[in-house]
Amino acid sequence: MVGRKFFKAFFGIDLSSIREKVVISPIVYPKRLGKVEYHRTMLGYLVANLENMTFVKAPMLQSAVSDAVVLLKKTPCREVVFIGVMGGLAKGLRVGDTFHTTKAKDIYSVSSLHEETRKKMIALRKKGVKGVDFESRAFFAAAKKAKLSAEAYYVVTDLPLTRPLYLGTTAREKERIQNSIASCLCNL
């Protein structure tokens, strides 16, 4: 069994106080949830216990997301939700759109932006992949290992085939991205 001190290094709170629903996000800070009390853990996570969920701002790393999800197996958590960003590959997606899924295969996780070659992005689109990110593969694998119900919401921040990340975003796109993040939070 994972020790309480080890657990507390990740979550900053006792494992028994974790809610049935846990939301993990590398992009959303607790202040987006309103005036909430949160704990900064020694590993860099920000954790807030709300009435209906526990919210975790995780570092933007596959291992950070995976480790947090796997540890939830020993808590009251039964459902884990991921809120992240993705580069949209599916036709019709625009910067600022949202995408929801319960399937790991919809999103392809890269370990580096250098993997986002045009050739690879075209091949992924042909296979039906909707977008690329960094954390999804780790998130869904960890949820399966922990036997937790899992779903994910993504905000499209770039379009690797037509508007790559390095070209930046317009003021209107930035506004759409922020509105979409707010919309994802409302769906919780």
Residue 187: pLDDT band with limits 50, 70, 90: confident
Sequence-ordered list of residues with C-beta below 8 angstroms from that of 31, at least 6 positions apart, any chain? none
Q: What is the pLDDT of residue 13?
A: 87
The average pLDDT across 49-62 equals 93
Q: Residue ranges of the alpha helices (H) in 22-166? A: 62-71, 118-126, 136-145
Indicate whether 95 pLDDT > 80.
yes
Indicate whether 106 pLDDT > 60.
yes
**Look-up of token digits 């899992």:** 150
pLDDT in tens, 165-175: 888 999 999 99
β-strands 131-133, 107-109 pairing? parallel
Q: Which position has the higher pLDDT, 177 or 6? A: 177
- Domains in the chain, CATH or no CATH each: 4-186 (3.40.50.1580)
pLDDT in tens, 108-143: 999 988 999 999 999 999 999 999 999 999 999 999
Q: How many residues does the chain have?
A: 188
pLDDT in tens, 40-50: 988 889 999 99
Q: What is the pLDDT of residue 1?
A: 47
β-strands 39-40, 54-57 pairing? unpaired
Q: What is the pLDDT of residue 2?
A: 63
Q: What's the whole-number average pLDDT of the chain?
A: 93
Query: What percent of the chain stands above pLDDT 90?
Result: 76
Cα–Cα distances (Å) from 55 to 51, 155, 169, in that order, read 11, 18, 28
